[in-house]
Structure 1
Amino acid sequence: MSGRPDRTTQHVLLLLLGVVVLFVAGSDRYLDYVRAGFRPLLLGAGVVVVLLAFSGLRGGRGETHGDAGHGHRGPAVGWLLAAPVAVLLVVAPPALGSYTASRQVAAPVAVPDEPPAAGIGADDPGADHATMTLFSYYVWSQAQDTSALDGRRVRLVGFVSPRAAGGWYVTRFDINCCAADATAIRVAVPGGPAEFEPDDWVEVVGTHVPPQVDPAVGYPEPTIDAASVAAVEAPAEPYE
């Protein structure tokens, strides 16, 4: 008896995989894994996989009728391979969070000599602060000339991750295409309130202070002096 699942089982697994891809791509859950612009590609891939599975199942039915009594069925345990795929329909893995971020040991990105554009933009409408991405704040705060941040209040949005030197980080992952190439961008909040726990999403409004070296990581980290911290809902698109 062969240890491989039979063709029917293989095609059913392929069908389940295609259904999972279509299910995830048809909701906002796909944003936990790839950039927003990848939805059409996921939908197209899901359709192709489902069509291939149906084609294989129809062809397999014809082979079974033509070779009745002469074929060998694969082990029934092969159907257990469908369980992990089926589980994804109910419990999809969440977006990357504080556990992954805390295991990043190298500096996330090289800092250019000059930020990519002059200024950090106007304040948010009706507010006394400017919202910045964590990546933008990271670049500006460690540039040779940080004058654009002088006297400016900025707003950062991300999730809480642990910091060995006290307080915590406001964190977000930057991705090029998908979660597989994600890089954690962290901004230290030394005075971060203890009421917030890892993976809580927060908005931090404060002012720039010089980068601090955390002995646990060994390189200068962008830092913000928080004037206020508030809980916020996790965004539909968690990555920058």
Structure 2
Amino acid sequence: MERLVTHLLLVLLGGTVLHVSLTDAYLAYVQPGFRPLLVLAGAALLLSGTVGFVLDRPRVSPVGRHASQARDHDHDHQHGHVPWVSWLLVLPVAVLLMVAPPALGVFTVERQSQPLAAATPDQVPEAVPAEELQLVRSMSMLEYGQWALADDPGPLTTSTVRLQGFVVPRGDDGWYLSRIRINCCAADAVPVSVVVDGNRQGVAPGEWVEVVGTWSPPAAHPSDGYPEPVIEARSVTPIPAPVNPYES
């Protein structure tokens, strides 16, 4: 009986992993490139549990049932019961099925803020041709943040930049546009924030917005004093949250 329970737990866990990985829900946990691995892992767990259940399920006639139960009783005494910790496998399954946690956001940024490394001279963005100066240049939060802190931000000072992220309060001194970066999964999440020089009226903490603006000199962090990248906002437009909330 205990072996059948173990197999059923594997089926439940594998089915849940497979379900999450075949929808966009997996993007709240890992990079897009990890989807094939999640699918394989979920399928392997599901197949393992299913095969084990089929092989171990009772196949005896009513006449031989008592003899089979006696053998199972002896088998259980020899090999022991399933450890209670095995039931902990049900916890992540229950969380994913009933209360799927949202992607990391304001809470993470407010508690894990840290200095952003400035770009080195060889990382400074290429000059923008004169005929393209009026165009809006889309950049990632990390790209803009590193180049904005460089000793010579170069052509960034003459470009109009588009950034997308969510709103995070900056004490009494304004607000941040933030994005979470991950290398592998949400466990190694690192927030990247840019100070927005402009009014936050009409947008709430956690709301996703698009900021179009220009470079502005770095500002000191309100409490720790390290330099933070700044963008002078020309427009702030609410946008839907992206399917993939993280930068990588």
Q: TM-score range by the shorter chain?
A: 0.7 to 0.9
1-structure distance, mates of 2:34, 2:92? 24
Q: Which residue of 2 aligns with 1:172?
A: 179
Q: Which residue of 2 aligns with 1:38?
A: 34
Q: Which deviates more, 65-74 or 83-92?
A: 65-74
Are 2:142 and 1:146 aligned? no
SS in 2 for 1:96: coil
Aligned-residue CA RMSD (Å): 3.0
Alignment length, in residue pairs? 233
SS in 2 for 1:172: strand
Q: Which residue of 1 aligns with 2:111?
A: 103
What are the Cα deviations for residues 81-116 of structure 1, in whole angstroms up to 9, with x where unaligned? 636513412432111111011101432x43232253
**Pair 58,91 (structure 1): closer, same or farther in 2 beyond 3 Å:** same
Q: Which residue of 2 aligns with 1:130?
A: 137
1-structure distance, mates of 2:243, 2:48? 32
Are 2:19 and 1:23 aligned? yes
SS in 2 for 1:13: helix
Unaligned runs of 5+ in 2: 61-67
Q: Which residue of 2 aligns with 1:13?
A: 9
SS in 2 for 1:210: strand
Amino acid in structure 2 at the alignment position of 1:235: P
**Pair 237,74 (structure 1): closer, same or farther in 2 beyond 3 Å:** closer
SS in 1 for 2:246: coil
1:188-227 matched pairs, under 5 angstroms: 188-227=195-234
Bigger-Rg structure (1/2) = 2
SS in 1 for 2:236: strand
Identity of aligned residues (%): 44
**Pair 104,121 (structure 1): closer, same or farther in 2 beyond 3 Å:** farther
8 A Cα contact 1:122 1:130, kept in partner: no
TM-score of the two chains, using structure 1 as the length reference: 0.84
